[in-house]
Structures are given as structure tokens and as C-alpha cells.
């Protein structure tokens, strides 16, 4: 039999910003088994366990991949617990409660012809060091026979719902009409239950039998217009949704406008009275400008980098958290909230930031909360089918000759105030605007982030830069 290392290296599947990602055709049963075996081998060096949790999203390919992962576990003498279709944070939470590792089969927001695997230690999401250890594992691949998946356990869903029912009052959303854009989200069967038990009148919308790749960092014009139409047609106080695996939120204000993910999480961190934050370099500068936090650490983009930064913050602060521009909120410590305690959940979570902001807006419109923040606005979008090597070459050109690069981006009227290369190329212009380019860690895409003095200006900046990139 081949080694796990050789199977993985020859597959073309690589670790991205969160989990291993690739084309569905690359995730053969053997590749899924190799990843599962290597993951378990790395975990056994640090933890004792005989059970591993598994869950999936609603992608057409996810069940077969989970079947291969479970077969590998069984061949290694381990028991798989199968939670069926479940949000990623719900799987991570129930696994942490049981002190066992977990495997989530999901490609998150990327198109349905791709998929991925996310791995969790008994104490939370794996680190970049764990990723390297998995790739370096060089044991002989165990010959595993495919079996039917075990019966679905509902413990994952009930534990996740109870986490927030125990935290918030059952009248938190009383008198509110909340729309839930279900599409193909892994959490679509539990969100309505939770919101109703918190007192809301729920309107379920947009359920789809086809997989819908919702990207909370690049929401489509169609989805933006649909949210405003639903708000008007159904008289909604807010609209809630997530990406495919339920770890990145979308929340609208009372007019149907979606909040940017980092603004949503900034408000949530204020509500939760977080002392210190770790956030990627792509997040809105309003996080520092609002002066609500004792320390803000900037990291590379990707939840593993945010989690690694928690170690430095834990030594100095009692309550720590992190979030990303996509809205995923990572709770790095146990915290007290309104007299109750919320346990740490160091992985992206969509529900906590959304519920926190709705709690803040109990007696005021959501839009009024945003109006109190510094007037710094962001926008982002992507060019799809843009190979990583092209992105890297473009960024290297910008680093070597930034002024010439601005000319190529039709920004020659500006000078370069500063350059940041923590992750990609982030250029601050002499008028205070920011342009940030980086290759996606999950798909062949070039992402562009911008900051400016208005939403329109930031959006135009993104659109114009990406149009220039396409011409190049």
C-alpha cells in the first residue's frame, strides 16, 4: 500500500485558509482515507480518544467523502459518530464537549465542483503546525473497506441550539420578524427552531435543493437585491443567513442592507465586552479606530492564524476573541455574558455575532449601531478562475514597483503612503484609501479588498482595480 504522505501529495488537494480544499474529483476515497489516517495519527500523539465526530454540508459529494473518512477510522479501530448535515461550529462544539477530534466535510462557500475537509482537535480547530504535521505523516495507508455511514445523531444540533438558548433570554427576539435565507446552508434545519425559541416570528425564505455557493465576503448583486425585496415584502426586522457550512454569517439591518462581516463582529465584540482581539489584516480599520479594545493583533488571513494569535493574548487578557472579514467569530476564552458564562469556541461561528448584534439592537435599529462607528467603509470582490501563480506574479510586481503598479491599476493620480505585505499586498494611498490584493487560499481566485470614506467609493475602488487586473 502507498503511504499517506504520497497519496496526499499526489492528489492536488492543499490546505487553504481553513481546511484542505480541492476539486471533487481529487477527493477520491483513497485521498479522504489518507487525510483521515494522517489526522488521527497526529492527534494520537497529543490526545487519548477512541471516537471521532464526523459531519457534512449539503454538497452532492459530501456524503461519499464522509463515508470514506468513516471507513478509514473504522479500519484504525476507532468509532465514528455521524452527525449528518450540521453547521461546522456545531460539530466543533459537540466534539469539544465530548473531548474528541472531529472531521467536517465541507467546501464552505466555494462552487459545488469543489469540496474540502476541516479538522478539529478535542480543544478546537487545528493550527498551521497541525496542518504541516498531517502533510508530513508518512505511514502506510491502511486498506479500508467502505461501509454505510452510522445512523445520524441529533446531539450536535441540540447541543449547539442549547448553547444559545442557555445564554440569551427566551424573549430576546420577541416582537421581531426575522427572515432566514435558508438556501443550501448546513444549518438551515435548526436556525428557525432557535430563533422561534428566542421569541421571533420567523419567515423561512429561499430554500434550495441545489447547492448555492454563498460567499459572505463577496455577496452577489442578486442576493443583495433579493434581501431588500424580502425585507419590504415580508416587513422584516432583519434577515439572517450563512455560507454553505454555517460558520460565516449574513445579517441585514432593518432596511435589508447586509452588514459587512467585520462590522457585524466588531459590534458583537463590543456587546460581549471582549478585551483583546486577533483579526486578519483584511479587516476594517474601524476596529482600532473605535477604541473599544485594549489590544488588536493583526494576522495573516485564515482562521488558523487567528487562533495561533490567541496564545499571546491569553497571557495578558481574560476575555479574548477573533473574527474575520467574512463574519466568522472565534471565541478564544470563556466569557461572562449577562450573568451567564459562555464557553470558548475557537472556530468560526455564525450565530454568536448575529445574536449579539440583535441583542444590542433590542431597543434601537441595527443601522443606528453602525452609525456610531468610525466612518471607514470597506468593500471586497474577486476575480474567479484566476490561477494562484498569476496572483503571486501580480503581487510581486506591486511590491517591486508600487508606483508603477498603481499606474497599471488606473490609480496613478495617487502616491503610496505605506505598504503592508503580511498577506498579499495592502497599499495605503496618500488620500487614506486602501487597496489590498491577495490570492484566495481556497480556490483559483484573486481577491480585492478596499477601504474608503464611503461604501460607494470603496465599491468603486474594488470594481475599478479588478477591471484593471483583468485587462492586465
Domains, the chain, in order of start with CATH, read 4-152 (3.40.120.10), 166-371 (3.40.120.10), 377-471 (3.30.310.50)
Q: How far apart are CA 325 and CA 4, in angstroms?
A: 34
Sort strands 177-181 and 238-242 into parallel, antiparallel or unpaired.
parallel
Is residue 126 within 8 Å of 44, Cβ to Cβ? Answer: no
Return the half-sphere exposure (C-beta side, CA atoms, 13 A cut-off) of residue 443. Answer: 20
Q: How far apart are CA 94 and CA 239, in angstroms?
A: 27
Sort strands 425-429 and 416-420 into parallel, antiparallel or unpaired.
antiparallel
- Catalytic residues, by residue number, are 108
Q: How far apart are CA 460 and CA 389, in angstroms?
A: 26
Q: How far apart are CA 461 and CA 469, in angstroms?
A: 12
**Helix, strand, coil percentages, rounded to 5, for the chain:** 35, 25, 40
pLDDT at 238: 96
Sort strands 434-439 and 445-452 into parallel, antiparallel or unpaired.
antiparallel
Sort strands 20-23 and 295-299 into parallel, antiparallel or unpaired.
unpaired
| DSSP annotation string for 453-467 | SSHHHHHHHHHHHHH
Is residue 89 within 8 Å of 161, Cβ to Cβ? Answer: no
pLDDT at 145: 87
pLDDT at 471: 83
Is residue 183 within 8 Å of 155, Cβ to Cβ? Answer: no
| DSSP annotation string for 30-70 | HHHHHHHHHHHHHHHTT---SEEEEEE-S-TTHHHHHHHHH
Is residue 222 within 8 Å of 250, Cβ to Cβ? Answer: no
> Measuring CA to CA, how many Å separate 53 from each of 20, 70, 123?
17, 9, 13
Is residue 181 within 8 Å of 241, Cβ to Cβ? Answer: yes
Q: How far apart are CA 161 and CA 12, in angstroms?
A: 37
Q: How far apart are CA 272 and CA 291, in angstroms?
A: 15
pLDDT at 424: 92
Query: What is the residue-level pLDDT of the chain in tens, covering all 472 positions?
Result: 799 999 999 999 999 878 999 999 999 999 999 999 999 999 999 999 999 999 999 999 999 999 999 999 999 999 999 999 999 999 999 999 999 999 999 998 888 899 999 999 999 999 989 999 999 999 999 988 898 999 999 999 999 999 999 999 999 999 999 999 999 999 999 999 999 999 999 999 999 988 888 888 778 888 899 999 999 999 999 999 999 999 999 999 999 999 999 999 999 999 999 999 999 999 999 999 999 999 999 999 889 999 999 999 999 999 999 999 999 999 999 999 988 899 999 999 999 999 999 999 988 999 999 999 999 999 888 898 888 899 999 999 999 999 999 999 999 899 999 999 989 999 999 999 999 999 987 678 999 999 999 989 999 999 999 999 888 7
Distance between first and last Cα of the chain: 47
pLDDT at 472: 79
Closest CA to 121 of 14, 241, 11, 39: 39
Q: What are phi and psi of 75, to 5 degrees?
A: -65, -25
- Quick one: 132 exposed, middle or buried, by C-beta within 10 A (0-12, 13-18, 19+)? exposed
| DSSP annotation string for 387-438 | -HHHHHHHHHHHHH-HHHHHHHTT-TTS-EEEEE-SSSEEEEETTS-EEEEE
DSSP label at residue 123:
T
- 379 membership: H or E segment, kind and range: strand 377-384
- Quick one: 98 exposed, middle or buried, by C-beta within 10 A (0-12, 13-18, 19+)? middle
Q: What are phi and psi of 174, to 5 degrees?
A: -60, 135
Dihedral sign, CA of 239, 351, 129, 296?
positive
C-alpha grid cell, residue 90: 456545531
C-alpha grid cell, residue 184: 443550501
Sort strands 51-56 and 102-105 into parallel, antiparallel or unpaired.
parallel
pLDDT at 291: 96
Dihedral sign, CA of 48, 53, 59, 60?
positive
C-alpha grid cell, residue 354: 448575529
The residue behind cell 450573568 is 339
Closest CA to 326 of 442, 457, 210: 442
Amino acid at each position: 500500500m502507498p503511504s499517506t504522505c504520497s497519496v496526499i501529495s499526489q492528489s492536488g488537494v492543499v490546505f487553504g485558509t481553513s481546511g484542505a480544499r480541492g476539486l471533487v474529483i481529487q477527493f477520491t476515497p483513497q485521498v479522504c482515507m489518507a487525510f483521515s489516517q494522517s489526522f488521527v495519527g497526529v492527534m494520537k500523539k497529543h490526545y487519548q480518544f477512541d471516537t471521532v465526530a464526523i459531519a457534512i454540508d449539503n454538497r452532492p459529494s459530501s456524503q461519499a467523502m464522509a463515508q470514506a473518512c468513516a471507513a478509514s477510522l473504522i479500519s484504525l479501530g476507532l468509532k465514528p459518530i455521524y452527525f449528518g448535515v450540521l453547521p461546522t461550529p456545531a460539530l466543533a462544539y459537540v466534539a469539544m464537549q465530548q473531548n474528541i477530534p472531529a472531521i467536517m466535510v465541507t467546501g464552505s462557500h466555494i462552487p459545488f465542483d469543489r469540496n474540502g475537509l476541516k479538522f478539529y482537535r478535542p480543544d478546537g480547530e487545528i493550527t498551521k503546525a497541525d496542518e504541516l504535521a498531517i502533510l508530513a505523516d508518512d505511514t502506510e495507508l491502511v486498506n479500508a473497506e467502505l461501509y454505510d455511514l452510522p445512523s445520524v445523531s441529533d446531539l450536535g444540533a441540540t447541543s449547539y441550539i442549547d448553547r444559545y438558548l442557555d445564554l440569551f433570554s427566551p424573549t430576546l427576539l420577541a416582537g421581531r420578524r426575522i427572515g432566514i435565507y435558508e438556501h443550501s446552508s448546513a444549518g438551515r434545519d435548526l436556525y428557525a427552531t432557535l430563533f422561534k425559541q428566542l421569541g421571533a416570528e420567523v419567515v423561512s425564505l429561499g430554500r434550495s435543493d441545489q447547492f448555492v455557493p454563498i460567499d459572505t465576503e463577496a455577496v452577489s448583486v442578486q442576493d443583495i437585491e433579493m434581501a431588500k425585496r424580502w425585507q419590504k415584502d415580508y416587513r422584516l426586522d432583519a434577515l439572517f443567513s450563512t455560507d454553505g457550512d454555517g460558520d460565516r454569517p449574513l445579517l441585514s439591518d432593518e432596511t435589508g442592507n447586509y452588514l459587512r462581516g467585520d462590522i457585524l463582529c466588531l459590534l458583537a465584540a463590543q456587546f460581549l465586552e471582549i478585551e483583546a482581539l486577533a483579526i486578519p489584516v483584511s479587516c476594517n480599520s474601524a476596529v482600532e479606530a473605535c477604541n473599544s479594545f485594549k489590544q488588536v493583533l493583526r494576522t495573516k488571513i485564515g482562521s488558523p492564524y487567528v487562533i495561533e494569535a490567541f496564545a499571546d493574548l491569553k497571557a495578558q487578557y481574560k476575555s479574548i476573541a477573533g473574527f474575520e472579514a467574512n463574519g466568522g467569530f472565534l471565541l478564544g476564552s470563556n466569557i461572562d455574558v449577562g450573568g451567564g458564562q459562555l464557553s470558548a469556541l475557537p472556530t468560526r461561528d455564525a450565530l454568536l455575532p448575529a445574536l449579539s448584534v440583535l441583542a444590542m439592537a433590542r431597543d434601537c435599529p441595527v443601522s443606528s449601531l453602525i452609525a456610531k462607528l468610525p466612518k471607514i467603509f470597506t468593500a471586497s470582490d474577486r476575480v474567479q478562475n484566476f490561477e494562484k501563480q498569476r496572483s503571486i506574479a501580480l503581487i510581486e510586481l506591486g511590491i517591486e514597483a508600487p508606483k508603477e503598479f498603481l499606474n497599471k491599476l488606473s490609480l496613478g493620480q495617487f502616491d503610496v503612503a505605506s505598504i503592508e505585505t503580511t498577506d498579499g499586498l495592502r497599499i495605503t494611498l496618500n488620500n487614506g484609501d486602501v487597496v489590498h490584493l491577495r490570492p484566495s487560499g481556497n480556490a483559483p481566485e484573486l481577491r480585492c479588498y478596499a477601504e474608503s470614506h464611503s461604501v460607494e467609493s470603496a465599491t468603486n475602488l474594488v470594481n475599478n482595480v479588478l477591471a484593471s487586473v483583468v485587462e492586465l
